[in-house]
Structure 1
Amino acid sequence: MTTSSQIKTVKIAYFSGTGSTARVADTFESELTRRGISVIKSEIKQGNICSDEKEDLLILLYAVHACNAPKIVYQWIDSLDGKKQTPVAVISVSGGGEITPNTACRLSSIRKLEKKNYKVFYEKMIVMPSNWIIKTDDGLAIRLVDILPLKVKHIVDDLLKGVICRTKPKLIDRVFSRIGEMEKNGAKFFGRNLRVNTNCNSCGWCAKNCSANNIIMMDDKPAFGEKCILCLKCIYGCPRQALEAGTLKFIIIKEGYNLKDLENRMQGIQLAPVEDLAKGYIWKGVKEYLLED
């Protein structure tokens, strides 16, 4: 396995909808750069074909979508040339952690990479605040953000030592993963039914920043196609909060989702113990993640 003396250049390929995975990618870049390693960072977007850099290690990062990688990540993997046999670490990012139903969320992407002759030797989950359905308590959310550099440091330590870390997904989660693939069709329906409210000033931010190229400007208003991948970037990112869900409204967190806003409002606030904030099965993975050694 490739060790630190052999790793001179690392490519970080990442997909981020609402900013959490981008923050993780930035943190990996900082940690690797601090250790004197050259970093190529590439955001995965629609039509962004894999370039031909000669990295010694590939780190693939993506936000978990319905117990899987987003469709756009599969498309990116399909664009790989399949000749490099480069070592790969697959890092998923979720709001729930490494518990059911997410333990198989890397399986499909790993299989696709291996079919392309990439050597996946490491996989891990990074936990960040939830951006859909259930809002993460601010006390837990800020802890997840604050602990990120330490978590990344531990992963980079493993990667540079050549530590092999592969997991065995639970059978039930393999089923959830298969079922979750149906979301990719549901995303088209969600995207077609996005709504524009009176806050819109025709700035075009949504069209410029849609990772799937699902939004175009027509008559100075956003128009939506069938390429949506349900990342929610347009809804949470619009500077004027001008976009709304026309269907599946329950998945949107009313308070919005912005890590910088979280950090600003939590400055100087005394935090309750993790055990008091992470109660019940739904937060079990978050609690374990924050309290593990």
Structure 2
Amino acid sequence: MILYFTATGNSRWIAELLAEATHDTAVSIVDCLKQGPIPAGLMEVDRLGVVFPVHSWYAPRVLIDFLSQLRLPDCCYRYAVCTCGDDMGKGMNRLAAHFSLDAAWSVAMPNTYVPMFNLDDEALCRKKIENARHAIASIAEDVIARKRVWNVHEGSAAWLKTYIVNPLFVRFVIGTRNFHVDEGCISCGICSKSCPVGNIRLVDGYPVWGKQCIHCMACLHFCPRKVIQYGKATRKKGRYRLESYLCRFTTPA
């Protein structure tokens, strides 16, 4: 079984590719949280994969909370694959201290955190997505062979990013007061439906953010009118939809 947590779609795509290559089943952690019980048979698996996006050089807290509930057989082969714009810092090591892992990989995917960074240009997105396809093929071979591999790109100042910057980011940056809606909202509710932690509700047809935000930016990227903003900087930046890139890249010339 492969458990995945996703917001903008990168980790779901990786999990589905990996499931196909390893003849396994990809299960959404978001769906598990909405439905309540932990998937039947999970406590008896002999191989478990976890796929998730990096949030400020660590795993999203909702993923950590979910994994803390699992009780797996001692013989279970555990592995994790994280998706990141560039590097993971020491985030995988920090995760493994709470949820032991036999193998781990990082896969670079298009960056989506537009409050602080620009979207990758189309050429870079194309390169990352195609590289990810090849990476998953190699990862799948190692998973099937149950190899103990640790192929995680930590980047520079890795310890500082994960153990100093991340806690500061969680405490002082993650919040919802800077979210707002420009003119043009059509009250479609897509922002509410796309939020993986159910943190958005519509009031008089407009989104209102609660206190459980994880700064995944799914609401911002999936808004069809591009009117959801975070502060002022996102007005000048694009929006990311993995499906549109995949469609564009696979359409014959």
Aligning the two structures, in what range does the TM-score lie when normalised by the shorter sequence? 0.7 to 0.9
Question: Which of 41, 45, 48 is the equivalent residue of 1:58?
Answer: 48
Aligned partner letter, 2:110 = P
Contact 2:89 2:161 in 1 (8 A): no
Aligned partner letter, 1:30 = E
Aligned partner letter, 2:168 = M
Tell whether 2:107 aligns with 1:126.
Answer: yes
The unaligned stretches of length 5 or more in structure 1 are 1-10, 115-119, 270-293
Task: Report the Cα offset of residue 264 of structure 1.
Answer: 4.7
Aligned to 1:261: 244
Aligned to 1:135: 119
Question: Which of 59, 81, 86 is the equivalent residue of 1:96?
Answer: 86
Aligned to 1:221: 206
Contact 2:45 2:72 in 1 (8 A): no
The two structures, once aligned, show a CA RMSD in angstroms of 2.6
Tell whether 2:169 aligns with 1:175.
Answer: no
Aligned partner letter, 1:227 = Q
Aligned to 2:221: 236
Judged with a 3 Å threshold, the aligned counterparts in structure 2 of structure 1 residues 143 and 167 are, in CA distance, closer, same or farther, namely closer
Write out aligned runs for 1:52-91 (5 A).
52-53=40-41, 54-80=44-70, 82-85=71-74, 86-91=76-81
Task: Report the Cα offset of residue 84 of structure 1.
Answer: 2.6
Question: Which of 155, 163, 178 is the equivalent residue of 1:193?
Answer: 178
Larger displacement relative to structure 2 (219-228 or 177-186):
177-186
Aligned partner letter, 2:139 = I
Find the aligned partners of 1:263 and 1:83 in 2 and give their Cα distance.
Answer: 35
Task: Report the Cα offset of residue 252 of structure 1.
Answer: 7.7
Aligned partner letter, 1:204 = G
- Report SS of the residue matched to 2:131: helix
Aligned to 1:202: 187
Contact 2:110 2:128 in 1 (8 A): yes
Aligned to 2:11: 21
- How many residues matched? 242
**For residues 156-193 of structure 1, what are the alpha-carbon distances to aligned partners after superposition, in whole Å with 9 as ceiling and x for unaligned?**
1011112111369689412210121222234542x233
Aligned to 1:291: none
**Greater Rg over alpha carbons, structure:** 1
Aligned to 2:28: 42
Tell whether 2:146 aligns with 1:165.
Answer: no
Judged with a 3 Å threshold, the aligned counterparts in structure 2 of structure 1 residues 172 and 251 are, in CA distance, closer, same or farther, namely farther
Contact 1:44 1:76 in 2 (8 A): no
Question: Which of 124, 132, 145 is the equivalent residue of 1:148?
Answer: 132
Task: Report the Cα offset of residue 137 of structure 1.
Answer: 2.7
- Report SS of the residue matched to 2:149: coil
Find the aligned partners of 1:207 and 1:141 in 2 and give their Cα distance.
Answer: 27
Judged with a 3 Å threshold, the aligned counterparts in structure 2 of structure 1 residues 29 and 227 are, in CA distance, closer, same or farther, namely same
The TM-score, its normalising length taken from structure 2, stands at 0.84
Task: Report the Cα offset of residue 56 of structure 1.
Answer: 2.0
